[in-house]
Amino acid sequence: MRQHDWRRTVRGLFGIVLAAFVGLLAGCGKRGWLETYPVKGTILVDGKPAKDVMISFHPKEITGDKPYVPTGQTDEKGEFNLSTFVTSDGAPAGEYDVTVVWPERYNPISTLWEGDKLNKQYADKTKTTLRVTVEKQPQQLPPFELTSGSKK
């Protein structure tokens, strides 16, 4: 008899924990966040993959009540995944002006990246010629083919 009561208690506790977990997950939704779509791409500088390049997508029109600028950083193959609200979630659909900065060095005192190996050619969102339209689907962008601007 005692074993039967123990099983009923465990089942009841399991049900309560499961209900609390489901409620917690429902409450952790992306309230107020726009729908995002995975966006991947590659950055080539002078025809070669560029590591640690920072790319930012500046929306032409802000929608929703939360400001956003999808960003990414390239790996050793020059590839990036955009992140808007959480890591690698992509970007909301829409038109974007794109800025690119390739930092020269990390300053451990200020904890900031400094300089730009691209001579700030692609760093100003008001002057950039790089534009992208993010569709309502996952997408692989064509490579961004940039020049370093260095004189040889």
Q: Is 48 found in the same domain as 14?
A: no
CATH of the domain at 92: 2.60.40.10
SS3 137: coil
Average pLDDT over the chain, rounded to an integer: 84
Q: Is 135 found in the same domain as 91?
A: yes
- Pull the structure tokens for residue 17: 């924990």
Q: What is the mean pLDDT of residues 24-37?
A: 64
Task: Name residues whose C-beta falls within 8 Å of residue 122's C-beta, 6 or more positions apart in sequence.
Answer: 98, 99, 100, 101, 128, 130, 146
Selected residue with higher pLDDT from 59 and 29? 59
- Domain extent, residue 3, equals 1-31
Selected residue with higher pLDDT from 114 and 89? 89
